[in-house]
Amino acid sequence: MSKRQARPTPLNQVDREAFRDMCRVFAEREIGPRWKAADEEKRFPRAFYEAAARAGLIGITATEEIGGAALGAYEEAIAMEELAKVNPNLAVSVLVQNVAGSILYEHGHAQHRDLARRNIAGECLVAITITEPEAGNDIQNVSTCATRDGDHWVLDGIKSFITLGGDADILVTLAQTDPAAGRHGMRFFAVDRRTPGIETSQIDTYVNRPAPTFRVMFNQARVPADCLLEAGFAEIMAGFNRERIMVAARWLGHMQTALAWGLDYAATRRQFGRPIGANQSIAFALAQAHLDVEAARRLTYHAAERWDSGVPLEDVILDVSTAKLHATQAVVRVTQTVLHTAGGWGLTTELPAMRWALDALVAPVTVGSVEIQQRAIARQLGLPVD
Ligand SMILES: Cc1cc2nc3c(=O)[nH]c(=O)nc-3n(C[C@H](O)[C@H](O)[C@H](O)COP(=O)(O)OP(=O)(O)OC[C@H]3O[C@@H](n4cnc5c(N)ncnc54)[C@H](O)[C@@H]3O)c2cc1C
C-alpha cells in the first residue's frame, strides 16, 4: 500500500467557511447562467474551465510550486459540494481536472508536472481515459495496448464513456504494455488528443450532458516515449479513492438542492385545501430524504478528514467506500422522492425535478459502482468475498 502524508496546511473553520462562500458565489456566477444551455446543447463550455482555473478551483490539492492551492481533500469536497448544488455536471468537469491533474503532478516526470501546471492555469483540459467497451468496472481487463517502437509508443484500442474526451487537450490513458504481465504491465500515458490516429465521437447520454462523454479510438497512434507516466498502475489507482470522496461530495450538493426545492414545493402546492406537505406520506418521505442528506454530509467529510490525516490507504478505504456508497444511493432516493412530490408537473420540462432525477441516475454507476463499493466494504469488514 502507498505511503501517504498528512496535509501540511489545514484551513481553520473560519477559513473553511470563507472558502465555501467563495465557491458558492463562483458557482452562482459561473455555473448558474451556463448550465442549461450546456445541457440542451450537450456541449462543454470551455470558458467555464478557464473561469474555474482563475478562481483557483483547479489544482485545489496541488502544491503551490506548480500553481495549486495546497489545500486538502476536505476543501476539495467543499468546492465540489457547492459547485454541484448549482449543477452536478459542470461540477464534475472540475472534479475530473483535479483528479487527472493530480495523476500528472504526483506520478509523472518533469514534463507531466508542466502539463499539470498548465492544467491548473486553465490552459490544458485533461480527461481520464480508462474505461473500454469490454472493460467497465473490470478495468484490469483493458485491452488497449501500447507497443514500444524506438522513441515512441504505438497505441491501439477503443475507450468509452470518457468525460470531456472530445474536448480535452491531454488524455490520461490506461493501456497494457505487456499482456503477459497482467496488471503489472498496465501503465498510464499522457497523450496529446490531437495525435494522428486518435479520433473521438460523442456518446449520447441522458446524464452528464454539460460535460459529455466520448468514445476515443486509438488507431496506430504514435506518441513520444516520454508520455509514459512514472508510477505503476496500483499506485495511481490508489489515488482514485480521493475521487470517490469527491463523487460523494458532488451528490451531496445535488441532493441538497433537490430536497430544498421539494420542501418548498410541498409547503406551497395545495390540494384538498391544504399544502401537500401536510400529508404524512409526503412529509415523512421528505424527512427521510433529510436523513439521507445529513448522513451523506457526515460520511463525506469524515472520509475527507481521514484522507487528509495521512493514515495509510488501507485504513481509509472503509470510510471512503462507505461515504461513496451512501451518497450515490441516497441521491437517487432523494431525487425520486422530490420527483414524486412534484406529481405530474414534475414530469414536465417546466419544473427541474425530472432533470435532477435523471442526473442522479449516473451516481450508482461510475468510479466503482454501488456493487464494487459494497464488495470493498465487505472485504474491509473481513468477509471473504472475491
Ligand atoms: C456519464 C459517465 C461518465 C463517465 N466518465 C468516465 C471517464 O471520464 N473516464 C473513464 O475512464 N470512464 C468513465 N465512465 C465509465 C464508468 O466508470 C463505467 O461506466 C463504469 O466503470 C461501469 O462500467 P460499465 O458501464 O461497463 O458497467 P459494467 O462493468 O458492465 O457493470 C454492469 C453492472 O454489473 C455490475 N457488476 C460488474 N462487475 C460486478 C461484480 N464483480 N460484482 C457485482 N456486480 C458487478 C455493475 O455494478 C453494474 O451494475 C463514465 C461513465 C458514465 C456513464
- Per-residue pLDDT tens digits for 338-356: 999 999 999 999 999 999 9
> Which residue type does 288 have?
Q
> Using one digit for the tens of pLDDT, what is the confidence trace for 153-174?
999 999 999 999 999 999 999 9
Q: Whose CA is nearest to atom 17 of ligand 1?
A: 366
Supply the pLDDT for residue 350.
97
Q: How far is the CA of 368 from the centre of ligand 1 (A)?
A: 7
User: In terms of C-beta density within 10 A (0-12 exposed, 13-18 middle, 19 or more buried), how is residue 152 classed?
Assistant: middle
State residue 1's pLDDT score: 44
Evaluate if residue 11 carries a pLDDT over 90: no
DSSP reduced 3-state for 157: strand
Do 226 and 253 have their domain in common? no
Count CB neighbours of 167 within 10 A: 21
Which atom of ligand 1 is least distant from the CA of 159? 11
**CA pseudo-torsion sign 366, 23, 36, 98:** negative
pLDDT tens-digit readout, 110-149: 999 999 999 999 999 999 999 999 999 999 999 999 999 9
**71 lies in the same domain as 198:** no
Q: Are residues 120 and 135 in the same domain?
A: no
Q: Which atom of ligand 1 is nearest to the CA of 370?
A: 47
The three-class DSSP label of residue 214 is: strand
Pocket lining: 128 vs ligand 1, CB cutoff 6 Å:
yes
How remote is the CA of residue 252 from the centroid of ligand 1, in Å?
21
Q: How far is the CA of 229 from the centre of ligand 1 (A)?
A: 24
Q: For ligand 1, is residue 218 a contact (CB within 6 Å)?
A: no
Same domain, 93 and 194: no
- Taking the centre of ligand 1 as the mean of its atom positions, its distance from the CA of residue 3, in whole angstroms, is 28
Residue 376 and residue 243 share a domain: yes
Number of structural domains (the chain) is 3
Query: Dihedral of the CA atoms 234, 156, 171, 65 (nearest 10)?
Result: 60
138 Cβ partners below 8 Å, 6+ apart? none
Kindly list the distances between the CA atom of residue 123 and the CA atoms of 9, 53, 97, 116, 126, in Å, as whole numbers in the listed order. 27, 9, 12, 10, 10
Q: How confident is the model at residue 211 (pLDDT cuts 50, 70, 90)?
A: very high
| Together in a domain, 33 and 85 | yes
Does residue 287 lie within any of the structural domains? yes
Q: Which atom of ligand 1 is nearest to the CA of 96?
A: 8
Is there a single domain that holds both residue 221 and residue 324? no
Q: Are residues 194 and 290 both part of a single domain?
A: no
- Tell me the mean pLDDT in the region 252-276: 98
Q: Could you report the per-residue pLDDT of 309-340, keeping only the tens digit for each?
A: 999 999 999 999 999 999 999 999 999 999 99
Question: Where does a domain end: 207, 231, 255?
Answer: 231
Cα 334 to averaged position of ligand 1 atoms, centre (Å): 22
Q: Is 92 in the pocket of ligand 1 (CB under 6 A)?
A: no
DSSP state of 30: I
212 touches 43 (CB < 8 A): yes
Whether pLDDT at 2 is above 80: no
Classify residue 7: in a domain, yes or no. Answer: no
Nearest Cα residue to atom 51 of ligand 1: 161
Take atom 12 of ligand 1 and give the residue whose Cα is closest: 131
| Long-range contacts formed by 24-32: CB under 8 A, 24+ apart | 24/82, 24/85, 26/51, 26/52, 26/55, 26/57, 26/82, 26/83, 27/82, 27/83, 27/85, 27/86, 27/87, 27/91, 28/86, 30/55, 31/83, 31/86, 31/87, 31/90, 31/91, 32/86
Mean pLDDT of 243-252: 98
User: Both 147 and 112 in a single domain?
Assistant: no
Q: For the domain that residue 53 is a member of, what is the CATH number?
A: 1.10.540.10
Q: Are residues 38 and 106 in the same domain?
A: yes
Question: Rg of the chain's alpha carbons, rounded to an integer?
Answer: 21
Q: Hey, what's the cell of 217?
A: 479510438
Report the nearest-CA residue for atom 1 of ligand 1. 208
User: For residue 8, what pLDDT band results from cuts at 50, 70 and 90?
Assistant: low
Domain interval for residue 330: 239-380
Whole-number pLDDT of residue 9: 67
293 plus 265 within the same structural domain: yes
Domain end marker among 124, 154, 176: 124
Instruction: Identify which of 161, 167, 170 to mutate to test ligand 1's pocket (most ligand atoms within 8 A of the CB).
Output: 161
